[in-house]
Each structure stands twice: as C-alpha cells, then as structure tokens.
Chain A
Amino acid sequence: MEFNRNQASLRYGSRRSIVNKAQQSGLASPPSDPYRAFVPNPSRDSDTLPQTGVQSTDGAARGPLDGVSIGIKDNICTTDFRTTCGSPFLQDFQSPYNATAVKLIRQAGGLIVGKTNLDEFGMGSTSVFSTHGPVINPVPFLNGGSASPSDPSLMYSAGGSSGGSAAAVAAHLCDIALGTDTGGSVRLPASYCGIVGFKPSYGTISRWGVVAFANSLDTVGILARSVGDTQKAFDVLAQPDPNDPTCLTREHRQTIKKLHHQSTKLNELRAKWTSTNLSGCRIGIPKEYLIEELNENVTATWRQGIEYLRQLGATIVPVSCPHTRYALSSYYILAPAEASSNLARFNGLAYGEPFTKEMEAMQRSDGSGEPTLYGAQRALGFGAEVKRRILLGTYVLTAGAYRDYFVQAQKVRRLLKQDFNSLFQLADPLAILEEGGGDAIGDAIRRPEDGGTRVDVLLTPTAISHAPTLKSAAGALDHTSDTDTNADASASVSPILAEYVNDVMTVPASLAGIPAISVNCGRINVTDGSPTEKLQLPIGLQLIAQYGDDTTLLTIASALETTFKGDRAT
C-alpha cells in the first residue's frame, strides 16, 4: 500500500477545513483549492463529512482503500454531496442514492473528500464548460512553481471533461479520483495533468448512479498518480451489478477470462511480464495516429516510448486501423445523439431548477406572453456546449437525417471494432458472448499462436499536444456567447472544432468499448508562442488493449510508467 493513512487523514482534515472556509467566506472556490478542482458544496453541513468513509481508529485496515482520499466526479451520484454535473440545471440536486462505484469505494474504506469539477454533463475536453468556473491545471504551480495561480500566462486547461478529478489528483488534493470517460474524458485530462487515467472495458465498472451523457460509450474511469494506485481502485470497482444491465455479470467475467486464457503459450509468456520485463510482448503502432495535427514533441515522446518498450523486450509491430480517420466524426454524431436523448429528462419540472424568476423576466422583456415551458427551461438550464450537442444530436436523429448520419456512424463504429479485432492476439469475447456460447465456440476463436502480425496492445499518443491555455480553451466558451462572429469563424478553424480535435486519439477506443490508459511520459516544451516558452507541460501516451484484457493493459502501462520515471530520475 503506497498510501500513508496519517497523510490521508491529514488531507482529509484539510479538505474539511476547505469546505468550512468556503462556507464562512461564501467564496465560490475554497482558498486551498485554487484550481477549482472541487465543486463547492455549500448546501451540506461539514458535520456530515466524517460519514463519508469507514474511518479506522484502531489502525487495522478494513479494506483495500482504507484511509485513501478519493474525489468523485460530480456527475456520479452521492448522498453526502449534491450532484450538480456542472450544470445550472442541477445546481441544487441532492441524489437520494449512491452510485454503485461510490458504494464500493466506501465499502473498501475509501474516504470520499468531495465532488470534482467537470465540463457540464461531461461534455467538453477542457473543463471550462462548468457552472462552477473553469478548472485550472495545477502543474505550473506545483514543485516549486509559482505559489498560486494568479499569473494569467500560467493558466492552462486541466483537460476535460474529468478536469477536476485530474487536477485534484495532480495537486495532491486527493489520492485517487473517479472520472467518467465517454470519448477520452479521463485519459485527456490525465495526459494534461501528468497523471494516470484509465478507461476500463465498457461494462466492467457499473454505471448505476452515473448521470448518462452517451450511455453506449460512458465508462467510469480512474485517475491516480500511479498505475499501482489505479490497479487498486480498479480491483475494488470492477464488480458485477444487477442494477446496471450493461455491467458484466460474474458469469460473463468468468467466461471472458476463460476465453482469454485458452493459449497456454500466451499465458506462460504473459505470466513473466513485469514492470521491468516485457519479453515477447507485441506492441502495435497504428500509423493512422501519426496525424498532421500532432505536436512534434509528442511524436518524439511517442518514439521514446517505443524505444523504452523495445528495451524491455517488447517487439514493435507497425499496424493499421484504416477506419480511424472516420472515428472522430462518427463520435460527434453518436455521442450527441445519445446525449440529446439522455438529457431530455431535464426539463425543469421533475429535475432541475424551475427558473421561475428568469422565466418571468423573459415574459416581461419580450411581452409575447408565456414562453414555451420546456423550451425556456432548457434554454436557461443548459450551458452553451450542452445546448450545441443536444441540437446536433437532435438533428442527426430526425427522420430526414437518421440514415445519412446516425446509421452511417453506427457502421463506422462496427468497422472500427473490426479494425481492432483484426489486430489483437486475443479474440473479441463479446462476439462470443453475443452468440450465447462459451465452451462450444471456444475453439473457433482461438488465434494462431505463431503471432503473425497480431499484438497485445497498441501504443499511441493520448493527445495531439500538451494542455492548451485556459484562454484558448475559453475561446470556445466566448465564441459560444458571441453569435455574430461567423465571418471571423470562417477565416480560421473554429475554436469549437479545435476543441473537438483534442479527442481524436481517444475516441476510437471509446467507440470500440475497449480498455485504454494514459500514462504520463514526461513533459514537453510549451510551443504556443506565449511568454511562457520555458515552461514544460506533461503529456501522456495511450495504451489500448482487447476487450476484457484490462489486466494485461495495466501490466504494460506499469512498465511504460517505470521506464519514463527512471528516465526522469537519471
């Protein structure tokens, strides 16, 4: 166990004082949380906080996360804190139940210290689209950096949408944080904040209590400062849950394990892998990820990662995922479509603020009488990015557009999955489960053991560059409120599109439902032409594995992490 219980409780104590101070001063953001990593929680009495974890008084560990301080992304339901999703709509929403992930953490002894800030409902890549204000990347201010984030030139985005979780972990405000990853929302902020961000296979961690953004893509993810910590949280969270019909049952998990362990040769080989030895491991480098937009320093780090893994005994295999180029556009059809549906329940009647005053004001100002109930509520209750995606999603589902957009995007999604299936040593266990068989079809999916061109994992960058400045990230926010700048927008790439491009490396694994992890691989020079030229910001590399092969992924991630840490040490 890497965590020091005393330290954890100290941090816990300080978190509580943060909350107290916030309550006393009425500040939007507590002074000890200058990054807006956490969501202020004014509605709760701080006396209720000690109930959030099973605190051990006798020193005996009660669970694998005993005393570990944990932040929960604010789109995951908790009874001890309100669950705002970063939205004006849910600014006072108090969930009557805990998400399964939250329940499991508490059972394992974890101390839930607060709810972390995010892009509204998880929609965004920079954590600026939050009613609580943008999350500030803590990296420039840590380890002897500037004491407090007062210098605007040092303001960088923490990435999104789990930016608060990433910032909180990076700034040691908590040990581990839960995020959600729909198209890269855990991996991207992990890369920007220099930590580990893990998106497990879809269906491994229960989504019960996770406020849906795009339910066929949403996964609960883990942000931590090491792969080891990530693994510990994963072991606690990867449990079946009857409340989530998309969560793998115990039987499913056993069948997948069996299917993945059919090759004795591969089992023996993999059993030897450690963080310092990957002999026989085959790592695929998909050429489609080497895109024009990729920062050259990121490319250099990617090369470095390849070299390190080769030194650990891995074989590097150039591979191709031909449909990757269609992934981003497909993602931005499917995810908004599902979002438009999932967010339909927020109408100001059952959930959300009724916005009575604002609606009265609207009536008075335009004099046209009663505004349309739902229209007005939703216009007031959602932020700009959420509204943009709802409109996009609503459009692609209309009778006239469904076939040309939604159906095509679904096809791309299947082709992407086939791309990945053709690359991995292990067959896709879900295809077998869908056929309803275990043993009977087992033989049919056994892969040739000579390897051929098949690989264990893929190595790609997590993001095309380091974190963008908060100013450029907020550009998308400003752009939103300014509706008359279409002429300017046509001149250069729209800041909104630029933000969507951030997800290009992460959405393929999301669409395929397969596990992916971002591991910090050092820092690169900031190259945005700002006065902070000397500043270095972290970047991560991403490892992607076959469905259900999360354990192998974590082993190789640990090796990658070790080599880069060793690099920094020397």
Chain B
Amino acid sequence: MSAIKPLRLNPHHLQQLFQGRHRLWEPVIGLELHCQLHIFGKLFSPESRRTSPPFAPNRQVTLVDAAFPGVLPRLNADGLAKAVQAVTALGGQVQTVSRFDRKQYFYPDLPTGYQITQRGQPIGLGATAAQLLEPVRGIRIEQIQLEQDTAKSIHGAVEGADLIDYNRAGVALIEIVLAPDIRSAREAVVVIRKLQELLRAAGISEARMDEGSLRCDVNVSEDRKGGIRVELKNLNSLKLIYHAIQAEITRHITILESDPASAPAGQTEQRLQQETRGFDPVRRSTFRLRSKEDAPDYRYMPDTDVPVVRLTPAYVAHTTAAIPELPDARRRRLHTEYGLGLADCHGLMSQSGAVAFFEKVQQATQLPATHIGLDQDMRISFDTHPPVSVKQLASILTAIEQRLISGKIGKEILSLMLNGDTRDAFELIEAKGLRQVTDNQLIQTMCRSVVNNNPAELQKYRAGKQRIFGWFVGQIIKETKGKASPTLAKEILQKYLDQLK
C-alpha cells in the first residue's frame, strides 16, 4: 500500500459555480468506481493465482478464467467478505439476499461473452448518506455491486495485432456507484482520494489508478434537472479526471449558451447529447467515443450458475467486525483523545502502523501528546520494523517532561537510537552527560556575558527588533552545547534585559 497524499479539506473551495454569460451554472457530477478487491484468487475461480503486481501476460489464467467449454463459476468467499466489508465501510446497507446477472456483449477481452455482475439485487445499497465529503456534506452511494473484471486489451504494442492479457480476466471487482452529488472537478478528486484512503485502510483494495486497481467513469451534466448527461471514460489518473471534468463543464456551458441558430450546419459536436466521451490531455478537450444510438443493449439476464447469495446476520456481524478503524473515525479520535491537528494525523496515518506505535508510546508515558517530528521521507513500517522501541521513545518524552533535557537534546538522543543505540534516554543522558543545565546562577552569568559581549545586537534589540531575543537565547544554548534549558534561559534573559532598560 502506498502512502496517501495528505488531504487539505477546505470546505469553502470545493463547490464551484461557473459564471456564464447570462447566469450561473452548477455542474452535476456522478462517479462510478471500479475497484479490484485485494484478495487471493479471482471472483469465480478462487484457486486462480493472483499476485500484485501481476506476472508476465497470460500466466494467471485457469480454465474458468479462459471460459473453457463446460466450466462453471465458483464464488470466491474472500471476495464476498471484502464486498460486505466495503459496503459497511462506505456506510451502505449490506443486502442479505443478492443475485448475479449476466451483462452480455461481444469483445475479445470478455472470454465468456458476458460479464457476471449484479444489477437488480446487488450486495450493497446506499440507504444512508456515506460521509465521503465530511465535514462538508454527504455524497450518497447508490449501489455497490460485485462483478468480474475483463481481460486487458493492448492496442498498438505490436503492429497489426491487438494483444489480450487474460491475467485480469475474472479478477474480483466492486463497482461503487455514487449519486450525482458532486459539484466540481475538485470535489470529484477529493471524493476519489477519500475513497482510496478508505479502501486501503480497510484492506479492501489497493485502489491504485496507475496500476488499474481503481478505475473511474465520470458523468457530467449541468443543472440538477433536465441536464444532458455525458459519460467520460478511460481516465486513469486523478489529474486526467480533474482536467477532463473541467473541459467537459466548459464545453457544456459553451454549447448551452450558444445560439443554436448560429451553429454551423452539420456540426454535431456543437449539439449537446447523451454520449460517451474520452479526454485528450494534449488538447485539453474531450472527444466522442460512442453516441447514445451506438450504446449496446446488454441483454441482462439472471446468472443461474452462481447461486443466490443469502447472508445470515451472524456472517455479516462476524465479517464487518474485522474491518479496522476507518480514516475519518481515526482522525476524529486522534484529535479528541490526543489533541492532534490534521497535519499530525496525516503524518501518522500515512505510514503503516504509525498510529498504533504512537498510541503505545502515549500509554507508556501517560503524558499529554508530545510531538517529535520524524523524518517524513523515512520509509519504515511501524508494524514490522519500528525504528526505536516504544520504551525508548517513551523514555525520551519522559526525560523532556521531567526537564532533564531539552527537546533539542531529545532529538539528538533519538538520532542516536535510530543509529542503533539500544539504551534508553536516561542511560544515554548519564553516559553522555547530556543533562540539562538548570543552574540559575550559571545561566545568569552566561546571559550577562552574551549580552555584554554583543553591544550591537543589544542596540538592535532596544530599537525594537524582537527577533534578537531569540538570537541571544540561541547563543546561550550554544555556549552550553545545547544543555541549557531553553525555558529557563528565556526566563532569565528576559529578566536581565528588562533590568537593563
């Protein structure tokens, strides 16, 4: 699982209205997300080997995946469990009875000629509004369904041939259908990021757009009622999604505000119609993939090979109990229990196991949350390779709290520990003579000499340059090789400077 980019939720900038020539336009955006489930095996061939990232092409294909004559699908229990967890994690309602349907169309990457999906009775319905844009507002989830992925078509890699990689054929997906509650490209991006964060945290999906484990179709229309809906497909990064939505909104408004009579004859591009479009990132504009007339009739029918899924309350309870704490809840808790700010929450939550480590340290010290910034670039897992022990880190914090050392010395000690020293802070303080200088007399002497030896600085200070105060403190600490208590130094320096007035 990769690190999650920090979210900067700014409630005031998400919704966006567009100023047209005559009026304001409000975009209406809906998303359909396809997420590959993070499980061993495929949805209907549990024994099909699947590793991530995938192997060489066409190596992870069973008889079922390749749709050999006479084979039958067998529902993967892990896939079902992940789907149930996803529905619950997203605030939807797990359906106790769900069924599978066949969506039929001919394409070389669909070996059976039909995709097994859930249309009429899916595993999850979003009865309650999932708090995807919390605290701004809820984005409703209409439906969550289990379905098979197709094989992967590769066009243009070999001249005169289209290649198909069946490794992906039959991989378990959930499709998350969001209600058209999104109002801007930015909001869409935030929603997708939050979904990624949630799916990863819950161990449901790796949700990586670059690797295709998360794919997203976007519906765009203007105004809530009567807008003409255009679907945007094949957008495989957040950046593309953002720019495609922006381009499409602009195109809609331009067409809607233009005088239909002045449009050149025969230019269908100038007419807004229900269709599927792609995005050209170079020209920053969308183009037609398929018109409504070309839309296939999928001839949906029930799939009677896969039995009806009936979930007992005990199964649902047991399965959903295994969902780990979800990001929104965790952030809320870190804030209320430890008083951490949003940035600190993200810092901790972006590394696997860091929150648990943090909480252990907190328990060990029984102190109010103290922040020691770890190098953000350190790629470590607190689950498997914690850089220092809970006891070591707790000892540093305790030493600081007891004013044995300053925060600066604390960081030096941490640095020693990170380099392999297994002693705790107290042992290191003794061994290295790092105990904080708390001798008032000594610090007073130093204050006097630092101030008196730098008359120019004193002059500036008196002229109102408050910054010089900090410089004096720095000099005192430098004199003591960092051991002087900064608090004490500041206190004594202030007194001395006041006396000089």
Contacts and interface: CB of A to CB of B under 8 A. Distances in A.
Contacts of B11: none
A394 B70 CA distance: 21
Interface string A159-183: 0000000000000000000000000
Contacts of B312: 436
Contacts of A216: 304
A340 B102 CA distance: 12
B307 A394 contact: no
Contacts of B304: 215-216, 246, 338
Interface in B309-325: 310, 312
Interface string A32-46: 000000000000000
Contact of B69 (A77, A215, A246, A374): A77
Chain B contact residues: over half helix, strand or loop, or mixed? loop
Contact of B114 (A337, A344, A347, A374): A344
Contact of A208 (B66, B70, B301, B308): B70
A397 B301 contact: yes
Contact of B70 (A95, A338, A349, A350): A95
A341 B70 contact: no
A341 B72 CA distance: 14
Interface stretch (A237-245, A264-272, A279-287, A552-560): A237-245
A351 interface: yes
Interface string B75-105: 1000000000000000000000000001010
Max chain B C-beta neighbours (<10 A), residue from A76, A93, A96, A209: A209
B102 A243 contact: no
B102 A341 contact: yes
Given A344-B114, A345-B113, A436-B310, A399 B69 contact: no
A394 B299 contact: yes
Interface residues of A, number: 43
A458 interface: no
A265 B108 CA distance: 60
B72 A351 contact: no
A215 B100 CA distance: 14
A350 B312 CA distance: 40
Interface residues of B, number: 30
Max chain A C-beta neighbours (<10 A), residue from B69, B106, B304: B69
Interface in A299-323: none
Chain A contact residues: over half helix, strand or loop, or mixed? loop
A343 B102 CA distance: 13
B72 A344 contact: no
Nearest to B307: A245
Contact of A350 (B104, B111, B310): B111
Nearest to A90: B69
A406 B106 CA distance: 21
A212 B70 contact: yes
Given A345-B112, A397-B301, A209 B74 contact: no
Contacts of A398: 297, 299
A195 interface: no
Nearest to B71: A208
Contact of B297 (A242, A399, A406): A399
Contacts of A95: 68-70
Contacts of A76: 70
Nearest to A242: B74
Contacts of B67: 345, 350-351
B63 interface: yes
A83 interface: yes
Nearest to A212: B70
B70 A77 contact: yes
A338 B63 CA distance: 21
A97 interface: yes
A210 B134 CA distance: 52
A341 B305 CA distance: 12
B70 A209 contact: yes
B354 interface: no
Nearest to A349: B108
Contacts of B112: 344-345
Contact of B301 (A211, A242, A341): A341
Max chain B C-beta neighbours (<10 A), residue from A245, A347, A436: A245
Interface string B280-301: 0000000000000000010111
B137 to A, nearest CB: 35
B492 to A, nearest CB: 78
A96 B73 CA distance: 17
A548 B241 CA distance: 55
21 contacts: A85-B69, A93-B69, A95-B69, A96-B63, A244-B72, A245-B72, A245-B75, A246-B72, A246-B305, A338-B304, A341-B113, A344-B112, A345-B113, A351-B67, A374-B106, A398-B297, A399-B297, A399-B299, A402-B300, A406-B301, A434-B310
Given A341-B113, A402-B301, 20 more contacts: A83-B69, A93-B69, A95-B68, A97-B63, A97-B68, A97-B70, A207-B72, A211-B70, A215-B304, A242-B74, A337-B301, A338-B301, A341-B102, A344-B106, A345-B111, A350-B66, A374-B106, A397-B300, A398-B299, A436-B312
